[in-house]
Amino acid sequence: MTKETFTFQAEVSKLLDIVAHALYSQKEIFIRELISNASDACDKLRYESLTNPGLTGGSGAYQITLTTNKKAKTLTVSDNGIGMNRDDLVETLGTIARSGTQAFMDTLTQAKAAKDKKKNGANTSDIDLIGQFGVGFYSSFMVAERVEVVTRKADEEAAWLWISDGTGEFTIDETTRDQHGTDVTVYLKKEDKEFLEPQRIKHIVKTYSDHIGIPIILAGVKKDEEDQTLNQASALWTREKRDISDEDYKEFYHHVGQMWDEPWLTLHNRIEGVISYTNLLFIPSSRPFDLFNPERKAHLKLYVKRVYITDNCDELLPGYMRFVRGVVDSEDIPLNISREMLQHNPALEKIKKALTKRVFNELKKKAEKTPDEYAKFWDNFGAVMKEGLYEDFNNRDMLLELARFRSTTQEGLISLKDYVERMPDGQDAIFYIAGEDAEAIAQSPQLEGFKAKGIEVLLLTDPVDEFWIPSIGTFEEKTFKSATRGGADLSAIGKNKSNSDAKSEDGATSDGGPDNAKVEPLIAAFKVALGDKVKDVRASERLTDSPVCLVADDGDMDMNIERLLKQHNQLSDSTPRVLEINADHALITKLAKKAKAAEGIDAAVEEAAFLLLDQARIVEGEPIADPLAFSRRMAAVMEKGLGT
């Protein structure tokens, strides 16, 4: 076969352009990335050879070798791992194979768009992002004039030479290699020859790759010079806790979790018992980019007796803990288990139960001891944890205890227990309002009455809230009740409290409830005018300042759910809503008088009905049905208001 030339996928070219011109201060991380790939390649082969022992062909122990050549200015990272064939090469070293790199590109595009918008405001530079995402193999082009990859796949005869200078094209040609594995040779740019210095290399490996479980060897250069092993070459999680520094943990977390932040929580335990295993788990301090991908992929690596089995084992923690990174290494799972057989393995089920409990307990401790730190965790992952409320019946109580919320009367985050403890006499429901933005929903007219009476309302802004609330129903026997639904009987609440916030006798929101008789004729007129555009028209108990608002009738779909479903094109029809009117509002009082005086239909009252309904929709953030008619009516009212 002759040499073939390929062009990089457009995204890769873009990435390479950024990488090559980045004045990134930590160029050294390319060594970490190449070692990480070499280590992955050895892990893969180790796994494959469990079922196919012939694969390794007696190649001996796994190792990663670094070789320098000062004259040629090359640094080579070699491994005796799985290797790549021609198709693998085309697929992985010409496209953006890894999701982290894709996320980097997406973020870059977004950051750029934001920058264009703000002109001089952007503070995330491309450079920071390289560090944040780690761009894998392509990071070698930060220091390389040219990269050559010689590789041979285990169990195949042919070897391949991949060459690129990182500017748009790469070539693949047939070559030879003694055994399976890969050599990545980086031809260093003149200004980057520091990466040929043994001291520099040793320091880099020690800093970033000490946790790698197989030996990383620096080959002697001169004849009498010995090879040196640069790392401890024992899997980090097998070491004693006291021998592991925070830095070691962090670098391991970066490697295993493909995350670039500080771990928020590190859980390292060795369990000896009926089922023996070691877990080294991390909770990130920032949100991973793929948190809300529909696949809900786990990011836990499963090892059996130090042999890597799989890197997204779903059977170790429930889906709502998918933000947890790390490894679990078990002694009690058969080594020859296939990935497919993991699903109903009783040992794994036991481990899952224990790990879930361990994570819960640690979270509980954090919530009690360091609520501010816990609040950061909840801001990042609360929306995910809440999925457990309808998925995991057995852990509901724990999840309800751990859940935190914003509310109308408190700063920061509160628990349901806090809320219930603060409930005044006469309140038997946990009130909430759901929507996209906490600040916006806190201003909703439906909350006016609650505010006036000092009744706390939870502000729910995660789409998942619409799922768990109906499935949970109650907390400590108090029903969850939407502030935008059904009749809101606030009159009984706080009656017995000495410092009651309830309005005094002359107010319509006093204990007697609104004075409905005054507005009966208006309600009748509105009903006639609006017809089936509304489900009903009622006097409101929840309004104090606004003239009208919309609420969902009991039994009807919640307004926020309807909005969510429409956003996702799951719903096209709208449910007619109840228009509530504020009998105390000056405008309503005037309209009520007019309606009472009118014999039959009053044109001004009819126009007002339409305008007020549209107004209520606008406040809800909903489109108005007929914008033209709305502006015609609005203009007419303004004209009238100006007099002659």
Compute φ and ψ for 38, nearest 5 degrees: -65, -40
User: 422 to each of 428, 456, 457, 509, how far by Cα in Å?
Assistant: 12, 8, 11, 22
Contact 530, 463 (CB under 8 A): no
Q: At what angle do helices 126-133 and 99-118 cross, to 10 degrees?
A: 160
Q: Which residue is nearest to ligand ADP (CB)?
A: 136
Query: DSSP label at 287?
Result: -
In the bound complex, what is the minimum distance in angstroms from residue 37's beta carbon to ligand ADP? 3
Structure tokens belonging to residue 180: 């399976």
Contact 366, 337 (CB under 8 A): no
Which among Mg ion, ligand ADP, none contacts residue 63 (Cβ within 5 to 8 A by kind)? none
Listed in sequence order, the residues at least 6 apart from 487 whose beta carbon sits closer than 8 Å to its beta carbon are 538, 541, 554
216-218, strands of its sheet edge to edge: 4-7, 169-175, 159-164, 144-152, 181-188, 74-79, 64-69, 216-218, 228-229
Output Rg (C-alpha) for the chain, integer angstroms. Answer: 33
Structure tokens belonging to residue 146: 């040219």
Nearer to Mg ion, 31 or 201 (CB): 31
Contact 81, 44 (CB under 8 A): yes
Nearer to ligand ADP, 77 or 416 (CB): 77
Partnered with residue 303 across adjacent β-strands are 308, 329
Nearer to ligand ADP, 79 or 584 (CB): 79
CA 281/CA 7 separation, integer angstroms = 40
In the bound complex, what is the minimum distance in angstroms from residue 91's beta carbon to ligand ADP? 8
Which among Mg ion, ligand ADP, none contacts residue 182 (Cβ within 5 to 8 A by kind)? ligand ADP
Nearer to ligand ADP, 142 or 441 (CB): 142
In the bound complex, what is the minimum distance in angstroms from residue 77's beta carbon to ligand ADP? 7
Q: Give 506-535 as a DSSP string.
A: TSTTSTT---HHHHHHHHHHHHHHHGGGEE
- Best CA proximity match to 543, nearest among 611, 609, 460, 451: 451
In the bound complex, what is the minimum distance in angstroms from residue 177's beta carbon to ligand ADP? 12
- Best CA proximity match to 419, nearest among 463, 502, 478: 478
Q: Which one-letter amino acid corresponds to residue 169?
A: E
Nearer to Mg ion, 36 or 427 (CB): 36
**Burial group, residue 629, by CB count within 10 angstroms (0-12, 13-18, 19+):** middle
**Helix H segments across 52-148?**
86-92, 99-118, 126-133
In the bound complex, what is the minimum distance in angstroms from residue 11's beta carbon to ligand ADP? 12
Q: What is the helix, strand, coil percentage profile of the chain, to 5?
A: 45, 20, 40
In the bound complex, what is the minimum distance in angstroms from residue 166's beta carbon to ligand ADP? 13
Which among ligand ADP, Mg ion, none contacts residue 81 (Cβ within 5 to 8 A by kind)? ligand ADP
State which H helix or E strand residue 592 sits in: helix 586-597
Structure tokens belonging to residue 120: 């001089």
In the bound complex, what is the minimum distance in angstroms from residue 294's beta carbon to Mg ion? 25
Nearer to Mg ion, 325 or 404 (CB): 325
- Best CA proximity match to 277, nearest among 224, 365, 345: 345
In the bound complex, what is the minimum distance in angstroms from residue 68's beta carbon to ligand ADP? 18
- Best CA proximity match to 307, nearest among 347, 353, 339: 339
In the bound complex, what is the minimum distance in angstroms from residue 622's beta carbon to ligand ADP? 44
Number of Cα atoms under 13 Å in the Cβ half of residue 383: 12
Nearer to ligand ADP, 84 or 235 (CB): 84
Which among ligand ADP, Mg ion, none contacts residue 144 (Cβ within 5 to 8 A by kind)? none
Nearer to ligand ADP, 99 or 207 (CB): 99
Nearer to ligand ADP, 135 or 413 (CB): 135
In the bound complex, what is the minimum distance in angstroms from residue 255's beta carbon to ligand ADP? 10
Partnered with residue 216 across adjacent β-strands are 64
Nearer to ligand ADP, 162 or 450 (CB): 162
**Residues in the site for ligand ADP, rule: CB under 6 A?**
33, 37-38, 40-41, 79, 81-84, 92-93, 97-98, 136-137, 182
Compute φ and ψ for 218, nearest 5 degrees: -95, 115
Q: Which one-letter amino acid corresponds to residue 404?
A: R
Which among Mg ion, ligand ADP, none contacts residue 210 (Cβ within 5 to 8 A by kind)? none
In the bound complex, what is the minimum distance in angstroms from residue 81's beta carbon to ligand ADP? 5
Nearer to ligand ADP, 79 or 580 (CB): 79
Nearer to ligand ADP, 12 or 333 (CB): 12
**Helix H segments across 158-230?**
198-209
Nearer to ligand ADP, 103 or 452 (CB): 103
CA 45/CA 81 separation, integer angstroms = 6
Nearer to ligand ADP, 233 or 267 (CB): 233
In the bound complex, what is the minimum distance in angstroms from residue 33's beta carbon to Mg ion? 5
In the bound complex, what is the minimum distance in angstroms from residue 291's beta carbon to ligand ADP? 18
Which among Mg ion, ligand ADP, none contacts residue 95 (Cβ within 5 to 8 A by kind)? none
CA 331/CA 349 separation, integer angstroms = 14
Partnered with residue 218 across adjacent β-strands are 66, 228
**Residues in the site for Mg ion, rule: CB under 5 A?**
36-37, 136
In the bound complex, what is the minimum distance in angstroms from residue 98's beta carbon to Mg ion? 7
